[in-house]
Amino acid sequence: MTDDTRLPGPAAHHWQWQLRAACRNLGPEPFFHPAGERGEDRDERDEAAKRVCAGCPVRTACLEHALRTRESFGVWGGLTEEERRTLLTRASRRRPEPAGRR
């Protein structure tokens, strides 16, 4: 589940980037898998979604949002939920522990 405590709030300037998104009028279907979708069907849908993201002018903002809020589902900023989870795990492993916690 998405951690909504990390959402930036209702101020419009936090969400302005979405107005320029390449996916703006495509609906959620290309970016979120239906229940039970597996294997080749899921891979093909993910790849199609990533092609939309590849040419998106706000791809970076979208990915930053997904990472910050820990979006649990769908393709955001060109990465699937599994790819984002891997990226976050790697980043947390590289972060040094605060002084005194060793």
Burial state string for 65-92 with b = 16 or more CB within 10 A and e = fewer than 16: bbbebbbeebbbbbbbbebbeeeeeeee
7 confidence band (pLDDT: 50, 70, 90) = low
Q: Which two tokens stand for residue 13?
A: 């300037």
17 assigned binding-site residue: no
Q: Which two tokens stand for residue 89?
A: 């795990």
Prediction pTM value: 0.77
94 confidence band (pLDDT: 50, 70, 90) = confident
83 assigned binding-site residue: no
23 assigned binding-site residue: yes
84 assigned binding-site residue: no
3 confidence band (pLDDT: 50, 70, 90) = low
Give the pLDDT confidence of 49-81 residue by residue, as tens digits.
Answer: 999 999 999 999 999 999 999 999 999 999 999
